[in-house]
Structure 1
Amino acid sequence: MGEEGMMIPIIDLDDFPNQAEKLVCACKEWGSFRIINHKVPLTLMSDMKSVVKSLFDVPVEIKKRNTDVIAGSGYVAPNKDNPLYEALGLYDLGSSQAVQEFCNQLEVSTDQRDTIMVYASALHNLTTEVWSKLAESMGVGSDSVKEWKCQFRINKYNFTHETIGSTGVCIHTDSSFLTILQEDECVGGLEVMPISSLPMGSFVPVDPLPGSLLVNLGDMATLWSNGTLYNVKHRVQCKDAALRFSIAMFLLGPKDKLVKAPPEFIDADHPQLYAPFTFIDLRKLRLSSGSRAGEVLDLARLPPIASQTV
């Protein structure tokens, strides 16, 4: 079931600080928004999609060389929960050594390697810019966000006539602070669940908009903002008999530093909701508990102040 007439917000990165209030509202009510004027060249986006297609055509024994650095960061084969989905991944996109190792694993050509390197740098810079604009729009310092770890994931959906109406990826939240997604400009299927549709749980289709990029907020954003920002629930549905590709960049967080809500989000009416966590520890808790759709934040909650031991 969808929400008729609802459209995901569009944020113009060339129009700040005028867009600041709109950005914060989108993050609170949708946890998701499109960005335009993002400065990533359309030719680079097109070239990267061509590289992605070719990477999924290599033999499966080569794909399996793309091993995990952290849980879920490497190759994901179709499985019982998501039989139409396949993915390759790269942890620590800000490290040129990690990018080169990813390319070595998959035996990419020199031209493909150059495209991946340029794209990785462009998206890493954009991810930093988007998070900094959000933090500044909320009156909070963005910390040393340039040092935060990023993860890169390329996705393939094997949609056919027989699978129309089925689920490509089950409902989930991202565990990251935010995700920047280059969608397939031809094949839709992504659906998000804005705050206004809760608790009924209806989805809003996110139709492709060529040239734009999509941003989703994850569990770490909700933890960091003391519950102010919405970690959007989303899924992918098969609506067309066509292969669908997407490219995701995840801003994870600082490697070892605990993440907790800044003082700007805490007062007498808004006590601290969550225990401080590193991204790695929150992700481990999420995986061990099977909390795929934001339930991990319930496990991270502090007890009510009245019941806390002094």
Structure 2
Amino acid sequence: MEGKIPVIDAHQIEEKSIKLREIIEKWGCFRVINHGVPLKLMAEMKSVSKELLDLPIEIKRRNVDVIPGSGYMAPSEKNPLYEALGLFDVASSLSVSNFCSQLQASPHQREIIESYARATYKAAIDIASKMSMSLGLTDYSFEGWPLQFRINKYSFTPEVIGSSGVQIHTDSGFLTILQDDENLGGLEVMNESGEFVAADPLPGTLVVNLGDVAVVS
């Protein structure tokens, strides 16, 4: 639909590579269905995310940086409504284990986090590979690329509805894959005309956004 971010079926990307390339060049952002992450696991991870962000601040602060900005981010003067936890690399079992230990995750929470890390990494590699093929880059493997994982919370109240949850920004990496709240909108992306377009929720989908590294490439 015109004015809406495009929706791509991951099972059909190969046969629609020209369309995908057009979307990448025009939008730099799209939603994807049939991405391979089980819907039940997405719902379970959403519940675990809420539980982790509801932890006492002294526990959340144990989620320390591996590189600057990779760990816990408390609300700040620039982003007073934003709070996040960070896992440096979902492809690393050690990184996943450290994240769970820092936050004293229960055995159930740890199982969900580990399963979600594996599923999202597999989906990210698949999507990145299909994107590169649509751009004419063949025989390149994204295996081994680190994939940071963040759990974001926006603490809106009736008084701040309409405010920005986080400052306007571009993503610094190659690819961002977002599981947003299927019941609550708010995400906006800039189109090629410089206008912000609402990325309305679509249950069961993931949002794919190209970052600065992809633009340079």
Deviates more, 1:206-215 or 1:5-14: 5-14
Asked if 1 retains the 8 angstrom alpha-carbon contact of 2:9 and 2:32, the reply is yes
C-alpha distance in 1 between matches for 2:51 and 2:139: 37
TM-score under structure 1 length normalisation: 0.69
Asked if 2 retains the 8 angstrom alpha-carbon contact of 1:177 and 1:220, the reply is yes
* Structure having greater relative contact order (Cα 8 Å, sep ≥ 6): 2
Pairing partner for 1:204 from 197, 200, 217? 197
Asked if 1 retains the 8 angstrom alpha-carbon contact of 2:13 and 2:20, the reply is no
Q: 1:119 to 1:142 in 2, by over 3 A?
A: farther
Structure with max Cα Rg: 1
C-alpha distance in 2 between matches for 1:220 and 1:174: 9
SS in structure 2 at match of 1:147: coil
Asked if 2 retains the 8 angstrom alpha-carbon contact of 1:93 and 1:99, the reply is yes
Deviation string 1:33-62 (CA, Å, 9 cap, x unpaired) is 000111211100000000000001110010
Aligned residue pairs: how many? 217
2:60 equivalent to 1:86: no
Equivalent residue runs for 1:132-171 within 5 Å: 132-141=129-138, 143-171=140-168
Asked if 1 retains the 8 angstrom alpha-carbon contact of 2:129 and 2:141, the reply is no
C-alpha distance in 1 between matches for 2:172 and 2:66: 16
Equivalent residue runs for 1:158-197 within 5 Å: 158-195=155-192, 197=193
Asked if 2 retains the 8 angstrom alpha-carbon contact of 1:11 and 1:19, the reply is no
Q: Which runs of 5+ in 1 are unaligned?
A: 225-310
Offset, 1:139? 1.2
TM-score under structure 2 length normalisation: 0.97
SS in structure 1 at match of 2:111: helix
Deviation string 1:244-296 (CA, Å, 9 cap, x unpaired) is xxxxxxxxxxxxxxxxxxxxxxxxxxxxxxxxxxxxxxxxxxxxxxxxxxxxx
Greater strand share, structure number: 1
Asked if 2 retains the 8 angstrom alpha-carbon contact of 1:36 and 1:212, the reply is yes
Asked if 1 retains the 8 angstrom alpha-carbon contact of 2:30 and 2:208, the reply is yes
2:114 equivalent to 1:117: yes
Pairing partner for 2:206 from 201, 213, 229? 213
SS in structure 1 at match of 2:86: strand
C-alpha distance in 1 between matches for 2:209 and 2:72: 22
Percent identical: 55
Deviation above 4 Å: which 4+ runs of structure 1? none
Asked if 2 retains the 8 angstrom alpha-carbon contact of 1:135 and 1:142, the reply is no
C-alpha distance in 1 between matches for 2:167 and 2:17: 32
RMSD: 1.2
